[in-house]
Amino acid sequence: MEIALTPMEFARRARRLYGDKEAVVDGDKRFTYKEFLERCDRWSSALQGLGVGQGDRVAYIAPNTHSHLEAYYAVPQMGAVLVPINYRLLPEDFEYIINHCGAKVVCAHSDYLDAVDGIRDQLTQVEHFVALEGEGEGWLDYESTLAAASPDYAQVEIEETDLLTINYTSGTTARPKGVMITHRNAYMNIMGSLTHQHLTPADRYLWTLPMFHANGWTFTWINTARGMTHVCLRQVDPVEVFRLIREENITMFCAAPTVLISIANAPAEIREEAPRGVRLFTAGAPPAAATIETVERDLGWELTHVYGLTETAPLITVCETRPEHRNLPVEELAQIKARQGVELVSSGELRIVDEDGNEVPHDGETLGEITVRGNVVMKGYYNDPEATAAAIKDGWFHSGDAAVVHPDGYAEIRDRFKDVIISGGENISSVEVEGCLLHHPAVQEAAVVGMPHEKWGESPHAFVILREGGQATEDELKLHVRDNLAHFKTPQWVSFVDELPKTATGKVQKYVLRGGKAGISRQ
């Protein structure tokens, strides 16, 4: 008899094989797999008692806590749909997402109870509000409600095409869109990740990546599939990251490049005590080769660059090293690892195409758009057929990412198409200029955007954060780029800033920089 491809199958297996093994660490709380999964069962039962049925939506606004992690099992295993919301959004965004998905229950961490209370009058479809931590008037207490429930929830039959989660995009240029991820989408992403990253029950995973972000790149389920230990981290602080890596024997984590930069620039005395051999995935934005060099050479960690989008469940490619790469100098290997790489074995087919839909030559130069079809592509945008039709054409999902293909078949993103700078008729990759700036010893972070220019139409404007104690002038950084790239790629302006506007997952919000909303003036 066939059974559906669903991440819930990994919970069944983990309960049988790893019941007495430590599953979750959250501060002073520790649960074995038996305890963790029983809590999930009790919450499934409690949700059913609250009237949640198959297909109903349950929204969560929470950092990386054990109760948030429990949602990735408790909600979908009884046939409901999990809606994890970016907790750094504004209350009006919460209102839009909760109403748009039609959530029947909203679960929120104590930090967000007031925000939800402020919009509660507008959440007319919500029947119950649950406080995961903290308390408030009209809020059910998560722990007491869970403890009072039976672990024997009503079983339902799950089809692999059923919705598992609805993950809302950031909505930086328009209303957030609800990406519909099926049980099959997530299952295939998990299997691909496990193929390309050797993980065992001895591994311990640190939650530096927000769980809400594309379901934590499916590590919410990957870790359980391998019987690993989830170590929760509610807020990324480099000092706390290094402490947990040491004290909890962390072997694996995921992080966006900007988070890696903050970790790699922690105080030297903290970095020197860090265990070597830690493995990590990075994605969310193309990492600079300089960042990869620092992580691998200075910290002795093994970095794997992956690429994907929320709409692809999320991973499409992995930049895995080949045997012939192993003996390359660190600098050359970092250049290769900065590429997006090749298809995961389970992600489906990836093509980089020109405006006519023809695959671009593998010359490392010709720019095209990344398109993909296969098992990980979303079911569509929730209640938005027009956006779905615009993104998926003739069966291919169009990413909006501009990339080239190298002769060895490895893809490399040059930019988002909307971020490509066209100066005097020449295309300039902001990613390439940023990577060059990050090779300057005084530069800690950099973001480059196109700004209007009277002669060239637009020209690069670099926003730079200097390292602590680092010194560099505008002319010095311009000369550094000019010496290493084509002259027309040199920034016309350089602004030194204390911070860059970012999303909750560490992506720089370039539209803020272009719009002058960051409170930063040109120098």
Residue 370 maps to which CATH number? Answer: 3.40.50.12780
Domain check: are 133 and 37 in the same one? yes
What is the DSSP pairing of strand 349-353 with strand 368-373? antiparallel
- Quick check: is 203 in a domain? no
Minimal CA–CA distance to 301: which of 337, 347, 358, 251? Answer: 251
- Quick check: is 387 in a domain? yes
By the 8 A CB rule, do 76 and 82 touch?
yes
Tell me phi and psi for residue 375, to 5 degrees.
-70, -20
Cβ count near 348 (within 10 Å): 19
Distances (CA, A) of 333 to 179, 297, 373, 409, 463: 35, 11, 29, 16, 27
Give the CATH number, domain containing residue 471: 3.30.300.30
Domain check: are 435 and 317 in the same one? no
Eight-state DSSP code of residue 210: -
> What pTM does this model have?
0.88
Domain check: are 412 and 500 in the same one? no
**What range does the domain containing 343 cover?**
236-416
Eight-state DSSP code of residue 345: T
- Quick check: is 337 in a domain? yes
The Cα–Cα gap between 38 and 33 comes to: 8
Domain check: are 402 and 448 in the same one? no
Domain check: are 361 and 507 in the same one? no
Can you read off the two tokens belonging to residue 11? Answer: 């919970």
Domain check: are 173 and 39 in the same one? yes
The Cα–Cα gap between 84 and 213 comes to: 8
Tell me phi and psi for residue 284, to 5 degrees.
105, -25
By the 8 A CB rule, do 420 and 489 touch?
no
E strand or H helix at 89: none
Residues in Cβ contact with 497 at an 8 Å cutoff, skipping those fewer than 6 apart: 463, 464, 465, 518, 520
pLDDT tens series, the chain, 523 aa: 788 999 999 999 999 999 999 999 999 999 999 999 999 999 999 999 999 999 999 999 999 999 999 999 999 999 999 999 999 888 999 999 999 999 999 999 999 999 999 999 999 999 999 999 999 999 999 999 999 999 999 999 999 999 999 999 875 556 889 999 999 999 999 999 999 999 999 999 999 999 999 999 999 999 999 999 999 999 999 999 999 999 999 999 999 888 888 888 888 888 888 899 999 999 877 777 888 888 988 899 999 999 999 999 999 999 988 888 888 888 888 888 889 999 999 999 999 999 999 999 999 999 999 999 999 999 999 999 999 999 999 999 999 999 999 999 999 998 888 888 888 767 788 888 999 999 999 999 999 999 988 878 889 999 999 998 899 999 999 999 999 998 889 999 999 999 999 876 677 888 889 876 443 433 3
Q: Residue 394, SS3?
A: coil
Number of domains into which the chain is organized: 3
- Choosing from 358, 385, 416, the residue where a domain stops is 416
Domain check: are 65 and 44 in the same one? yes
Q: Is the peptide bond before 84 cis (omega within 30 degrees of 0)?
A: no
Q: Which amino acid is at 433?
A: V
- Quick check: is 244 in a domain? yes
- Quick check: is 47 in a domain? yes
Cβ count near 282 (within 10 Å): 28
Minimal CA–CA distance to 400: which of 368, 425, 445, 378? Answer: 368
Spell out the SS3 assignment of 251-315: CEEEECHHHHHHHHCCCHHHHCCCCCCCEEEECCCCCCHHHHHHHHHHCCCEEEEEEECHHHCCE
Domain check: are 18 and 134 in the same one? yes
Domain check: are 501 and 397 in the same one? no
Report, in this order, helix, strand and coil percent for the chain, each rounded to 5.
Answer: 35, 25, 40
- Quick check: is 480 in a domain? yes
For the residues of 436-481, what is the DSSP string, one character each? HHHTSTTEEEEEEEEEEETTTEEEEEEEEEEPTT----HHHHHHHH
Domain check: are 481 and 341 in the same one? no
Model pLDDT, residue 518: 43
- Quick check: is 134 in a domain? yes
Domain check: are 244 and 379 in the same one? yes
Can you read off the two tokens belonging to residue 366? Answer: 């010709």
- Quick check: is 46 in a domain? yes
Domain check: are 175 and 270 in the same one? no
Minimal CA–CA distance to 179: which of 396, 388, 372? Answer: 388
